Amino acid sequence: MPMQMGFRWYGENNDNITLSDIRQIPGVSTIVWALHDKLPGEVWEPEEIKSVQEQIERYGFNMDVVESVNVHDDIKIGLPSRQKYIDNYIQTIRNLAPFGVKVICYNFMPIFDWTRSDLFHPVGDGSTALFYQKDMIQDDPKSMAAYVMAFTEKYHMSFPGWEPERMAKLDELFEAYKDVTKEKLWENLRYFLERLMPVCRECDIKMAIHPDDPPWDIFGLPRLLVDDAGIDRFLHMVDDPYNCLTLCSGSLNANPANHVAELVRKYSDRIAFAHIRNVKHFENGDFREASHRDADGDTGILEILKAYHDCGFEGYIRPDHGRHLWGEKPGTVRPGYGLYDRALGIMYMLGAWEMMDKF
Ligand code: CS2
Ligand code: MN
């Protein structure tokens, strides 16, 4: 089976991009989807999954990849109430299996998902992109959360991992995480996965963890999946073919020391899902996201694609964040998830891939 190209879609009435738009991008087989109105910890019910299935399959796509089923904070913190949330997670896996879902992408970042200081930073050519200014993300989580929340309120858009219900309780969350050291977080991740693995095997669904974005501790919160050593520890800790990676090139390469193509070669048999995102580094540690073209960033997109191709990668792949182009602006586009740059990214990736296939 060749690799399968996916496109992340936020769902009807939740994404300005339609399935009909996506069908016009050549080469896409998989819709990367989720029930975006679910809070972490809730069970995804079969009827709810079925209604998305009907939409997705009507356009000839498969729904093999879910991104994300988010993990409740109590599981990450290791509270006794985690039992209930792990049971719910397992029930969600069981409910997804009959619909043909093969991969669940998730992350294990405390409190925040991806973190940026500017969601629409000018690139210089008229487009905008997500930007991380290191000195703005130091010791004031509240002002950063307030920035993202102001955006979500103004434009009636909420982001997975930035649920307003959770952000309203930031003090409580920080308090709850205060004794969660890196080692405890590793232990809680292991506990969670060990309980899931038998069900994953039975349901033939791979759990594919997304690396931490950015790949370093922020606001004093520990982060685990940040480099080769972290990935190695993770895969050995629960050494099971259903314990896999979503290898996100841009998240990892926000730290220029992470050589993503090498990671692909080293861990290819455990990569279930590839995110391709290009990043431009600045000397002071800031970074900006870039078009998928190799020369536009520093992540080494062609070398990464070559590594996947050499390894005979047969998993799912998708363009990750792109720039906002051609009139895409706050209110009309989800930050990082416009139509045009991701479509261009797909054509670039398929061009490179098909060239490697043929010649
Ligand atoms: C995604 C992540 O938009 C993005 O950066 O790659 O937010 C990803 O969906 C989550 O971390 C997975 O749980
Ligand atoms: Mn990603």
**What is the band of 9 on the pLDDT scale with cuts at 50, 70, 90?**
very high
Q: Which ligand is nearest to the Cα of residue 105, counting in written order? A: 1
Domain limits at 148? 4-358
What confidence tens digit (pLDDT) does each residue in 43-80 have?
999 999 999 999 999 999 999 999 999 999 999 999 99
Regarding the beta carbon of 68 and ligand 1, being less than 6 Å apart is answered yes
pLDDT score for 162: 87
CB 14 within 8 A of CB 28: no
Tell me the residue type at 172.
E
- Ligand 1 within 6 A of 36 CB? no
- Residue-level pLDDT at 159: 86
Q: What is the mean pLDDT of residues 158-163?
A: 85
Confidence of residue 136 (pLDDT cuts 50, 70, 90): confident
Residue 294 pLDDT: 98
C-alpha 359 to ligand 1 mean position (Å): 34
Is this prediction's pTM over 0.95?
A: yes
Strand, coil or helix: 72: coil
Residue 211 has pLDDT above 90, yes or no: yes
Does 10 contact ligand 1 (Cβ within 6 A)? no
What's 251's domain CATH number?
Answer: 3.20.20.150
Asked if residues 103 and 64 have their Cβ atoms less than 8 Å apart, the reply is yes
The β-bridge relationship of strands 103-106 and 316-319 is unpaired
Residues with C-beta atoms within 5 A of ion ligand 2: 248, 275, 320
Beta carbon of 212 within 6 Å of any ligand 1 atom: no
Tell me the CA–centroid distance for residue 185 and ligand 1, in Å.
Answer: 19
Give pLDDT, residue 156: 87
Q: Which atom of ligand 1 is nearest to the CA of 113?
A: 11
**Nearest Cα residue to 3 out of 243, 344, 309:** 309
The amino acid present at 287, given as its one-letter code, is F
pLDDT at 1 over 80: no
Residue 29 above 90 pLDDT?
A: yes
Between 165 and 174, residue with greater pLDDT? 174
> How many CB atoms are located within 10 Å of the residue 181 CB?
11
Could you give the number of structural domains in the chain?
1
Percent of the chain residues topping a pLDDT of 70? 100
Ligand 1 atom having least distance to the Cα of 246: 12
Q: What is the pLDDT of residues 236-258, one digit of tens each?
A: 999 999 999 999 999 999 999 99
Decide whether any atom of ligand 1 lies within 6 Å of the 289 Cβ.
no
Average pLDDT over residues 344-357: 98
Report which protein residue has its CA nearest ligand 1's atom 3: 321
Establish whether residue 210 lines the binding site of ligand 1, counting it when its CB lies within 6 angstroms of any ligand atom.
yes
Mean pLDDT score of the chain, rounded to an integer?
96
Distance between CA atoms of 147 and 131, rounded to whole angstroms? Answer: 13
Q: Is the pLDDT of residue 114 over 80?
A: yes
